[in-house]
């Protein structure tokens, strides 16, 4: 491990590798991964996203890259770039499916083989940060990702939760997972934290409030911040727009920008 690893292969020029994890599904891992990537790019960083959610890859849609053909070069699979500046590179299982409605009905061993390839065979080139978006849980994909990335480096994991106890309960288990496999926790993000009614500005805590921050306190992990529920953010993701560019005045925008800044500081301090 370490930056001076000369055998890092395709990850040799990747400065930082960050996993986005959550024990719970649907808490916004892919959303946060996408928005963090966009925020990092606005901060002038070169960013890559590796989407290892084999059964439900959402990132291609969120970045509206469609279903491009993935090409091979000498160095491996060429990631898909969101624009000509090549500031944001993406590799997802979604690109390899023939039919977008196809279910990837695979058991563990087959998934592990693909993840091994994913991690080692993508020609990322130079990147400041590689974000790895994972499926929910603590199972095959997670072990495979950690095992394969560890050969190079893993800076740590950002854990995403929603405020309710049902969700933080699952994320507690994810913290245990990180400790067991030796992945440092960079911090916890509380997503879907409150909803401000656009009609009367009354804030409703649809999924309760404060659970993420409390979890961070109990488990002694850094708290990165809250991201409120924001219909603008959901529709922007549906349309694959760049929320970070389109809605700079929204509350979610500020929250994500702050989280991005804290994350960068943590990475650079390490």
Beta carbon of residue 144, minimum distance to another protein (angstroms, whole number) = 9
For residues 187 and 226, is the Cβ–Cβ distance under 8 A? no
Which CB atom, from 218 or from 270, has the smaller least distance to another protein? 218
Residues 6+ apart with CB under 8 A from 127: 13, 14, 15, 46, 47, 48, 89
Angstrom distance (rounded) from CA 152 to CA 13: 10
Beta carbon of residue 236, minimum distance to another protein (angstroms, whole number) = 10
Kindly report the CA angle at 226 between 220 and 227, in degrees rounded to 5?
A: 145
Q: Is the sign of the CA dihedral 58, 61, 62, 65 positive or negative?
A: positive
CA–CA distances in Å: residue 80 to residues 48, 60, 95: 10, 10, 9
Which CB atom, from 45 or from 142, has the smaller least distance to another protein? 142
Which CB atom, from 60 or from 87, has the smaller least distance to another protein? 60
DSSP, res 223: E
Least Cα distance to 253 among 18, 36, 88 occurs for 36
Beta carbon of residue 136, minimum distance to another protein (angstroms, whole number) = 4
Can you name the residues that pair with 235 across neighbouring β-strands?
none
Residues that bind another protein (CB under 8 A): 23-27, 30, 55-56, 58, 61-62, 100-111, 113, 135-140, 142-143, 162, 164-167, 169-170, 172-177, 180-181, 195, 197-200, 202, 204-208, 229, 231, 234-235, 237-239
Beta carbon of residue 51, minimum distance to another protein (angstroms, whole number) = 13
Which CB atom, from 12 or from 206, has the smaller least distance to another protein? 206
Which CB atom, from 82 or from 266, has the smaller least distance to another protein? 82
Beta carbon of residue 261, minimum distance to another protein (angstroms, whole number) = 26
Beta carbon of residue 107, minimum distance to another protein (angstroms, whole number) = 5
Residues 6+ apart with CB under 8 A from 200: none
Q: What is the three-class DSSP state of 139?
A: coil
Which CB atom, from 8 or from 116, has the smaller least distance to another protein? 116
């Amino acid at each position: 491990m370490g930056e001076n690893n000369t055998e890092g292969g395709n990850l040799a020029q990747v400065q930082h590798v960050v996993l986005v994890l959550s024990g719970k599904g649907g808490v916004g891992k892919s959303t946060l991964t996408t928005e963090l990537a966009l925020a990092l790019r606005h901060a002038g960083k070169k960013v890559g996203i590796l989407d290892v959610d084999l059964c439900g890859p959402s990132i291609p849609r969120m970045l509206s890259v469609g279903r491009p053909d993935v090409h091979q070069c000498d160095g491996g699979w060429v990631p898909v770039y969101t624009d000509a500046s090549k500031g944001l590179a993406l590799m997802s299982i979604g690109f390899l499916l023939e039919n977008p409605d196809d279910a990837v009905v695979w058991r563990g061993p087959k998934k592990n083989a693909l993840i091994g390839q994913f991690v080692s065979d993508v020609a990322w080139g130079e990147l400041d940060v590689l974000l790895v978006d994972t499926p929910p849980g603590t199972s095959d994909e997670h072990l495979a990702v950690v095992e394969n990335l560890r050969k190079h480096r893993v800076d740590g994991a950002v854990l995403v939760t929603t405020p309710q106890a049902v969700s933080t309960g699952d994320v507690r288990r994810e913290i245990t997972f990180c400790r067991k496999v030796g992945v440092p926790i960079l911090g916890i993000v509380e997503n879907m934290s409150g909803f401000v009614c656009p009609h009367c500005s009354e804030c409703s805590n649809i999924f309760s409030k404060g659970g993420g921050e409390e979890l961070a306190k109990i488990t002694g992990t850094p708290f990165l911040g809250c991201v409120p529920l924001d219909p603008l953010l959901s529709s922007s993701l549906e349309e694959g727009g760049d929320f970070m560019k389109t809605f700079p005045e929204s509350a979610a925008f500020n929250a994500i920008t702050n989280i991005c800044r804290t994350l960068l500081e943590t990475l650079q301090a390490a």
